[in-house]
Chain A
Amino acid sequence: MMKRTIEPFWWSLFGAGGTLAALFIPITLFINGLAIPLGWLAAPDYENVLQMARHPLARTYLFLLISLSFYHWAHRFRFTLYDGLQLKHLNLLIAVICYGGATVGTVAAAYTLINL
């Protein structure tokens, strides 16, 4: 049976992004934004961090975290514009801008991580 709608696809990215972002962004922010600047954790030197980020698992983690967070934003922002600002006549344009923006962010993240 053919499905009538592509919404499940966008919604799954939205859900995955929301879950990942809720779990891991606070941890990442805590380590990099509080613990290291306040001296609770010893600041690693640049080369060490770079080496760590180049590990395939770290690249995958960063890619998924960044990309899915973008799609989470895109889906929510799309409905904020659509329902919140009542721009439903611009539905297609809004979808292209939101998901397109998330796709641009995803490509940029992939490019940056590959060339790290």
Chain B
Amino acid sequence: MAVESLAGNVSETPATGQTVTLEVFRYRPEEETEPVYQAYEVPVHKDWVVLDALNHIKDHLDGTLSYRWSCRMGVCGSCGMMVNGDARLTCATFVESLLPGPIRVEPLENFPVVRDLVIEMTDFMEKLESVKPWIIRDEEKPLEDGEYLQTPAQLADFEQFSMCINCLLCYAACPVYGLEPGFTGPAVIALAQRYNLDSRDQGAGERNAVLDTDEGIWQCTLVGECSEVCPKDVDPAAAIQRYKVSSTLQWYRNLLMPWSSK
């Protein structure tokens, strides 16, 4: 009953007496060549989120259902799924807001499906690594010189972009990423900006080599869905627009003063 204790906590919220149907995307590659939808009738409890309903299915109705989740509080970024066609964190999407249902739950759009609601995210991980999302220094100062100090204003320059939890909702919502799998994509560009705009960082040039390109920021057409679905208000669309402005200024600077370019 170890599993039960986890679900048990959630079940303590009172049942409302209602039920709702979850239409869940199933894909078991060893059993079927095409995905199917499976309907589950789930009791509605007060304050339940879609993830609670999925956990109810897993614990009580069908233990074969696969999906990712961890923290249940919008921090870990692992429970992103399509809920009635919208990219959502299932831990932050209330069942009561979706009644009377049915509620359709599918894996995140624009990614290959490994199994059921689990997607393959290697593409994102490789792109993230390609923009070197860490502080780059031309030369590290010696330890005895102390910390790299930063004012609150300097922190504010990048803080918003550091809130990303890599949940991939923005990739699922981005129509450009859907059409152009090579596109670096919203979260990776926002995370690159998190370091580019950090006063301690000197790596913008290295990141530009990846991002100031046709497959980087210039593939974005500012649809803006990334910022609509972002559960942490990172606003990747704004990050990309700011990147376009600074790259454009740099482009004209190189054109007008070629001797000044690196």
Contacts and interface: CB of A to CB of B under 8 A. Distances in A.
B244 A8 contact: yes
Interface residues of A, number: 15
A15 B247 CA distance: 13
A12 B262 contact: no
B179 A3 contact: no
Interface residues of B, number: 19
Contacts of B180: 88
B29 interface: no
B214 A83 contact: no
Given A3-B212, A4-B212, A83-B179, A9 B262 contact: no
Contacts of B252: 8, 12
A3 B248 CA distance: 10
A8 B251 contact: yes
Interface in A88-106: 88
Given A1-B205, A5-B213, A11 B248 contact: yes
A88 B176 CA distance: 12
B244 A4 contact: no
B162 interface: no
B249 to A, nearest CB: 9
A73 interface: no
Residue of B205, B218, B250 ringed by the most chain A CB atoms within 10 A: B218
B261 interface: yes
Interface string B200-220: 000001000000111000100
B261 A8 contact: no
B205 A83 contact: no
A7 interface: yes
Nearest to B261: A1
A83 B218 contact: no
A5 B262 contact: no
Contacts of B251: 3, 8-9, 12
Given A3-B254, A5-B212, A83-B176, A11 B221 contact: no
A116 to B, nearest CB: 31
A86 interface: yes
Nearest to B205: A1
A7 B218 contact: yes
Given A1-B205, A86-B179, 15 more contacts: A1-B262, A2-B254, A3-B212, A3-B254, A4-B214, A5-B213, A7-B214, A7-B218, A8-B247, A8-B252, A9-B251, A11-B248, A12-B248, A12-B251, A83-B179
Interface of B: 175-176, 179-180, 205, 212-214, 218, 221, 244, 247-248, 250-252, 254, 261-262
Interface of A: 1-5, 7-9, 11-12, 15, 79, 83, 86, 88
Instruction: Give the 8 A-B residue pairs with the shortest CB-CB distance, closest first.
Output: A8-B251, A7-B218, A8-B248, A79-B221, A1-B262, A12-B248, A4-B213, A5-B214
12 contacts: A1-B254, A4-B212, A4-B213, A5-B213, A5-B218, A7-B214, A8-B218, A8-B244, A8-B247, A8-B252, A9-B251, A15-B248
